Structure 1
Amino acid sequence: MEQRVSLITLGVTDADKTAAFYDALGWVRVETQDGVIAYDLLGQTLGLYPLEKLAEDIGIDVAQLGRGALTLGYNARDRAGVDDIIGRVEVAGGTVLKAPQEVFWGGYHGYFSDPEGHVWEAAHNPFSPLRAGDGAFRWNGY
């Protein structure tokens, strides 16, 4: 298995409300099949899919999906980018879980959740700058 994530699917109970949240943050949807709302992530995709259909696709009861302890991370180009994202969360329908603040390792971050409770970290890591133009970041200069 090659080391990459190609698709992140978030099981949701209200796809329209959750999509409206991501739309309000400025994300742009891509064309997909019926029942799937997707956003291109520069080489990966974030998909919103009804919980019942996700469970059906896997072949399990919806109760078996559970809620994993998972956070999704977004690296901003600077501290102001973190402040901007966190500042738009509640207006968009999400919840700020931790206001932006300095981190012990020298970065700056905050946490929020979307309307379905999926947790995101918005961070600026001055030691791993984003590459110009593509949104990807380099860990320790790589």
Structure 2
Amino acid sequence: MPSRISIVTLGVADLARATAFYEALGWRRRPESQPTISFFDNAGSMLALFEQGALAEDARLRPPSEPAQPGAFRGATYAINCDSDDDVLAVLAAAEAAGATTSKPAERSPFFDGLDGYFLDPDGHAWEVAHNPDLHGLPR
């Protein structure tokens, strides 16, 4: 099996709202997007947004019995590694301006010499924003 992640697909409650949020972050929607799925360029991969029930059906899984409560952990996080601590602060501010909720303000990490913080997109997906200078070779 190849060691790579080509596409991360997030199940969302409202595709138009979620698409508008990621566009407000400045992410570019790919032309392959359709009325039922939005694709966004990422450095070396793609992010896709798909209605949550349809995504569960596609994977032949039961849909969640009820929507996740705000701030509830969903079992996964996604990370953006920045070039500096100042970039972490700027990305978190841009996410808030686009409608994100900060779940962890930027603070010095106990695991590496840099800042990290988290924001939640409108569907509650957790994004870590970090400056981990020890991770080399990540896409920028």
User: TM-score scaled to structure 1, two decimals?
Assistant: 0.84
* Identity rate, percent: 36
Query: Residue 81 of structure 2 contacts residue 131 of structure 2 at CA under 8 Å; is this kept in 1?
Result: yes
Partner of 1:126 in structure 2? 133
Q: 2:114 matched to 1:107? A: yes
Query: Partners of 1:76 and 1:106 in 2: how far apart?
Result: 13
Query: Partners of 1:103 and 1:38 in 2: how far apart?
Result: 31
Query: Residue 79 of structure 1 contacts residue 108 of structure 1 at CA under 8 Å; is this kept in 2?
Result: yes
Deviation beyond 3 Å, 4+ runs, structure 1: none
- Structure 2's unaligned 5+ residue stretches are none
The structure richer in helix per residue is 1
Query: Residue 74 of structure 2 contacts residue 125 of structure 2 at CA under 8 Å; is this kept in 1?
Result: no
Aligned amino acid, residue 81 of structure 1: D
Aligned amino acid, residue 20 of structure 1: A
- Structure 1's unaligned 5+ residue stretches are 136-142
Partner of 1:95 in structure 2? 101
Aligned amino acid, residue 111 of structure 1: Y
Partner of 1:78 in structure 2? 84
Query: Residue 106 of structure 1 contacts residue 126 of structure 1 at CA under 8 Å; is this kept in 2?
Result: yes
Aligned amino acid, residue 26 of structure 1: G
Describe the SS at the equivalent of 2:64.
helix
Number of aligned residue pairs: give it: 133
Query: Residue 73 of structure 1 contacts residue 120 of structure 1 at CA under 8 Å; is this kept in 2?
Result: yes
Partner of 1:26 in structure 2? 26
Query: Partners of 1:63 and 1:52 in 2: how far apart?
Result: 8
Q: How large is the Cα RMSD of the aligned pairs? A: 2.0
Query: Partners of 2:123 and 2:8 in 1: how far apart?
Result: 15
User: TM-score scaled to structure 2, two decimals?
Assistant: 0.85
